[in-house]
Structure 1
């Protein structure tokens, strides 16, 4: 039984929404960030990163307070408005290749604690505590957790009907996305949608494990104060068939002392190797891996060695770690080893080729993306994926919706 609630969202006025919303802060290069801050006074980047020029010279405490003050300035200037009563939203994102539609709502901390909202990624405690402090100091969150639910024909039909109405927002962004938002403020609709989710036994976090963990930590520290808003966190709920799962590919700086021929010979213990030479080859199915080394692409076909592998042992990212990255290349800590970096699978294989040809990296590995069934199986068994196993879309725009605490 899953619980969702409407909330009194704070959001940009319709005439400014295209100027206010932005991609995740980390997606911008320094040059892009400086340009947006210089030429767009309405960008939410001014809020989430105030005093950009001096950002390295101030404490986190002062930076978080600066975020809170700048957000209040935006509200005072009429850039943001607050809903008069709690509402849901239907939100659609159209990219160049995909379309995503889901529901923006509050989800329950109790559901998160009781594993009704399930996880498949580990979290870093320092990041959880840092974002918890950010939430506490700023008093708001604008980054919903991406949560997926089993496809439901009734909810699908309901969403399709709501999308026939005139949207609250209908705007495009500079990265060629189209965004539409519909407000759901009718009490009958709100109650009906809540009843539908009450019949869904489990929800799964697709993206946002640190954000949900931070919300739980904040709730636990301040629940005695009786702030009802801390009992929930903002989520973007989307059907399983709507999400797009990409792989994270790996590039490694050296061969850990191996000569190329010796390294290939070592790989043959666990893989059938085919030299694809200059063909830009990517894995076509599970248990296949691509490799770029010394100017050539290779196809690596895993030799299934265990007739009854565990769910985790069956995961391609785990196979690559267990058979190659750890024993051969000496990489133990996938999060912190400086010899490895990650390239989202939506980027071209040419990106990997170029980075290796430039000489900073020596070998790259391409994986086949996981599917939702693998993610759910891991979550159901309280297992954790290796770091950087999935890159999941859609990505929510910062500043589109604010959940005040």
Structure 2
């Protein structure tokens, strides 16, 4: 059963939270982070991507960068920008985007739950990406970015959250992208204990976003265990920072595809080569085509939109992976027709999150790409089904919005 436990958060003072909070490190490159950091000396990018405070020719994975991240973090603590709570609490983190509300509980989850499969995964991780965050966590002695988890909604947990959110929040601000961020502290020991016990009755937590951060946090914890052979299991390094949301609060956006060429074919040849697998219909109006149901796709090429509908035999509804639309497109069109064998490694394909809109697909095809595919979003139920089967999704299957902000909560490992 799942572990969620209270911790003493290091967090920004109330008046500085909006300036400190930043998008996760992995949704921006160094130059984008540098622009943010130059405008805002308090932004958490100075910790998450500390290379922005060094010379431009410094390798972003060098020891110097991780040492700078540690220096920046503890300098901000020393200056009083961050404070550490004097008792173990849980926290509530609510985000509102375009009127949609998602409300999660912030606490620490167990590295043993990750190892033993109570915390379930749906993606592969890359060792190179893990190494970066392992070093970052180890040098900073802290989990600096929360893992985005979900669970099957629990009525009693929802009731407690509803009661706690009637109180005055500690943070309440709107970020530059128009998303509201509201935080409450759950400091009542009885409420904390009940929440911890209720999570102890939940048999699975699911990683929604942050697979590399989770894997890295676990490996740092295991490293600390090796360094402390007398560990009891109660030390902070046995746990990592998470925000857990009920599945009913979350929405996955579409994750679309653009390809640089038609693999040597004309459009007519392409259409002829896919007609055995898909029903194909030209879209009469000039609006971008957004799929309305599963197994339906939009295709934009040479200024025209087509609706593709997967035929029987292109998917297996009994298989949680093969029934996914991302699998259907990959297995029946991208790989056999366009020769995109491994989308993780092939530089002819790119992925565009639905937050950018379908107009972005048109723009890319009209400039540097040749063809685009709009997708029907993967569902939370799809994600859970794949994870429960101990399988993984194809790359770029899910796009979650809004993104959790880094810097609002820090979990110190000792």
One of 342, 351, 371 as aligned partner of 1:363: 371
Deviation (angstroms), 1:398: 1.3
One of 290, 303, 311 as aligned partner of 2:298: 290
CA contact (8 A) 2:256 2:354 kept: yes
Q: 2-side partners of 1:279 and 1:176: how far apart?
A: 26
CA contact (8 A) 1:2 1:201 kept: yes
CA contact (8 A) 2:95 2:180 kept: yes
Task: Find the counterpart in structure 2 of residue 379 from structure 1.
Answer: 387
2:408 is the counterpart of 1:400: yes
TM-score, structure 2 as length reference: 0.93
2:269 is the counterpart of 1:262: yes
Q: 2-side partners of 1:290 and 1:18: how far apart?
A: 39
Deviation (angstroms), 1:279: 3.0
Q: 1:32 to 1:112 in 2, by over 3 A?
A: closer
Give unpaired runs (5+ residues) of structure 1.
none
Task: Find the counterpart in structure 2 of residue 90 from structure 1.
Answer: 92
SS at match of 1:322: helix
CA contact (8 A) 2:66 2:139 kept: yes
CA contact (8 A) 1:55 1:63 kept: no
Moved more, 25-34 or 299-308: 25-34
User: What does the per-residue CA deviation read over 1:334-393, in whole Å, with 9 as the maximum and x for residues that have no partner?
Assistant: 1121100011012211110011111x1000011101111111111111111000000013
Task: Find the counterpart in structure 1 of residue 58 from structure 2.
Answer: 57
TM-score, structure 1 as length reference: 0.96
Deviation (angstroms), 1:162: 0.4
Q: 2-side partners of 1:37 and 1:308: how far apart?
A: 47
CA contact (8 A) 1:106 1:235 kept: yes
Deviation (angstroms), 1:96: 2.4
SS at match of 1:330: coil
Moved more, 124-133 or 69-78: 124-133
**Number of residues paired by the alignment?**
404
CA contact (8 A) 1:244 1:394 kept: no
Deviation (angstroms), 1:94: 1.3
Task: Find the counterpart in structure 2 of residue 271 from structure 1.
Answer: 278
Q: 2-side partners of 1:38 and 1:389: how far apart?
A: 34
Q: 1:30 to 1:8 in 2, by over 3 A?
A: closer
Give the RMSD, CA atoms, in angstroms: 1.7
Deviation (angstroms), 1:31: 6.8
Task: Find the counterpart in structure 1 of residue 321 from structure 2.
Answer: 312
Task: Find the counterpart in structure 2 of residue 78 from structure 1.
Answer: 80
Q: 1:262 to 1:125 in 2, by over 3 A?
A: same
Q: 2-side partners of 1:172 and 1:136: how far apart?
A: 31
Moved more, 28-37 or 75-84: 28-37
Task: Find the counterpart in structure 1 of residue 36 from structure 2.
Answer: 36
SS at match of 1:57: coil
SS at match of 2:46: helix
Task: Find the counterpart in structure 2 of residue 19 from structure 1.
Answer: 19
Q: 1:112 to 1:32 in 2, by over 3 A?
A: closer
2:236 is the counterpart of 1:234: no
Q: 2-side partners of 1:203 and 1:73: how far apart?
A: 35
Deviation (angstroms), 1:246: 1.0
Moved more, 37-46 or 99-108: 37-46
2:391 is the counterpart of 1:390: no
